[in-house]
Structure 1
Amino acid sequence: MLYEKERQDVVDTCLFMVRENLVVGTAGNVSVRIGDHVVISPSGVDYETMTAEDVVVYDMAGNHVEGRLKPSSELPLHIAVYESTDALAVTHNHAVSSTALGLVVDEIPTSHYYSAMLGGAIRVAPYAEFGTDALAENVAKALDGRTGALMKNHGAITTGPNLKKAVNLLPILEYICEIQLKAMATGAPIALLSDEQIDSAVGGMKDYGKQPEK
């Protein structure tokens, strides 16, 4: 079986999204790029019963390479992201706060320094029907210079150099969205960070959590 480890990584990432309440049912999808191949979760398969063998492999042109099941309907979206960014992993979810916030804003301003983890103010891609080239194009634009974006009337997406880093951004994005929603609900002015403060936070996070070597 091609890419057995990566296919298992996709399964494990889907299960992580379930545990973190980031998906409902079989909504959402996960992929990793290996050269000209995309390893992606199948369409409509219960995450709790999904196996590595269920995960499928396609090439960057959208041609089937291996696997018996149909790929996620968002395969064009994943390919578009890989074509337009240097990402090697993509995670997409339908969590409550990120989906809700995407209904009422076109951009999440820098109200929390965690925005720096995703590259700055988080854009909301205009709505297009799931599985379409239009959605893929809209999301690719929203991800320009970012590692995360919202999808209007749909959900959220994060990217990274590997699946662990990509999926670990999903709870952070969800947290940012929940904070923004609660702040907006007060009706009071929301304090925002400047570009300079966000840039400083980006620099500070590069060494965050690194301990001196023994």
Structure 2
Amino acid sequence: MAQDGGTDAGAPGGAVGTAVGEAWDALVATARRTVADGLVVGTSGNVSVRVGDLVLVTPSGVPYSRLTGDDVVAVDLDGRPVRGTLPPTSELPVHLAVYRSTDAGAVVHTHAVHATAVSTLVDELPPVHYMAAALGGPVRVAPYALYGTRELADHMLTALTGRTACLLRNHGTIAYGATLDQAYDRTAQLEWMCRVWLAADSHPTRTPALLTPDQLAETAEKLRGYGHPG
């Protein structure tokens, strides 16, 4: 497929080829980080990044430690293969739905333990910490649907309305951002907030204090003005 003035996105040379190679290296590093940080076991999660009209995505069933620069998997926004011989992740419909509906530059999906546990307990993560504002507000839980299906993607998009992350019931997390680093950071923050809520809610006689919508709005405003709080 020709991109950007006729340069072949599948070719190793040229500006597009260089951008794809660099993006792939960053994607693999992020995927390996999800394993190292305990957000993923084996190949249970997946990561994608957008380069122009291409979406680079982790392949299905391949341990991230084995991926090299020669294993690039790229599709267009309709899911048609553009580069690579490995099959893309089975969650490709979810990733593509995010790119078609938002300005996302990268998407991270995990089966993080605490977030997955919370997804089985509530319809929305209670706002126990102000960093919920960094994700757009209290994080919703998308209803369960079989992985890799359009139904799951539709449920996810509803849960993501006005948000940059959500939980998938009995499944895991989805977070997106302008960059891989931002998408990963939002994923890690979500898992941490789920862990905090589970710990607080486990007290036998006390109920966790929750932030009000006004308090979250105040945090959101400060985040817009000053970046991440200390």
Report the TM-score, using the length of structure 2 for normalisation: 0.88
Stretches of 4+ aligned residues off by more than 6 angstroms: none
Residues 85 and 144, structure 1, Cα contact 8 Å, conserved in 2: no
Give me the whole-angstrom Cα distance separating, in 1, the residues matched to 2:216 and 2:69.
39
- What is the aligned partner in structure 2 of residue 193 from structure 1? 211
Say yes or no: does 1:159 pair with 2:176.
yes
User: What residue in structure 2 maps to residue 68 of structure 1?
Assistant: 85
- In structure 2, the CA distance between the partners of 1:209 and 1:103, relative to structure 1 (3 Å rule), is closer
| 1:168 partner SS | helix
In terms of mean alpha carbon deviation, does 83-92 or 47-56 score higher? 47-56
Question: Which of residues 93, 96, 106 in structure 2 aligns to 1:79?
Answer: 96
Greater gyration radius: 2
- Report the more deviating stretch, 45-54 or 120-129: 45-54
Correspondence 1:204 to 2:222: yes
1:184-203, Cα deviation, whole Å (9 max, x unpaired): 21142221111111111112
Aligned to 2:155: 138
Residues of 1 paired with 2:134 and 2:36: CA distance?
Answer: 22
In structure 2, C-alpha distance between the alignment counterparts of 1:124 and 1:51, rounded to whole Å:
35
Secondary structure of 1:111 counterpart: coil
- In structure 1, stretches of 5+ residues that fail to align are none
- The answer to whether residue 107 in structure 2 is matched with residue 100 in structure 1 is no
Q: Give yes or no for the alignment of 1:12 onto 2:38.
A: no
Does residue 127 in structure 1 map to residue 137 in structure 2? no
Match of 1:111 among 128, 143, 147: 128
CA distance in structure 2 between the aligned counterparts of 1:26 and 1:126, rounded to whole angstroms: 23
Comparing 197-206 with 141-150, greater Cα deviation is found at 197-206
Identity of aligned residues (%): 45
Aligned to 2:50: 33
The superposition leaves residues 121-180 of structure 1 with CA deviations (integer Å, 9 ceiling, x where unpaired) of: 000011111111111111111111111110001000110001111011111111100011
Distance 1:111 1:209, change over 3 A: closer
* Per-residue deviation, 1:55: 3.0
Q: For residue 133 of structure 1, what is the amino acid of its counterpart?
A: R
**How many residues align structurally?**
210
Choose 46-55 or 88-97, whichever is displaced more: 46-55
Q: Is 2:38 aligned against 1:21?
A: yes
Q: Which amino acid aligns with 2:221?
A: G
Amino acid at match of 2:202: A
For 2:82, what is the secondary structure of its paired residue? strand
| Letter aligned with residue 198 of structure 1 | L
1:7–1:53 Cα contact (<8 Å) kept: no
Q: Residue by residue, what CA displacement relative to the aligned partner does 1:51-87 show, whole Å, maximum 9, x if unpaired? A: 1322300001110100010000011100001111111
Q: Which residue identity is paired with 2:222?
A: G
Aligned-residue CA RMSD in angstroms?
Answer: 1.4
Secondary structure of the 2:140 match is strand
How far apart, in 1, do the equivalents of 2:147 and 2:50 lie? 21
Higher relative CO (CA 8 A, sep ≥ 6), structure 1 or 2?
1
SS at match of 1:31: strand
Aligned-pair CA distance for 1:182:
1.3
Equivalent position SS for 1:92: strand
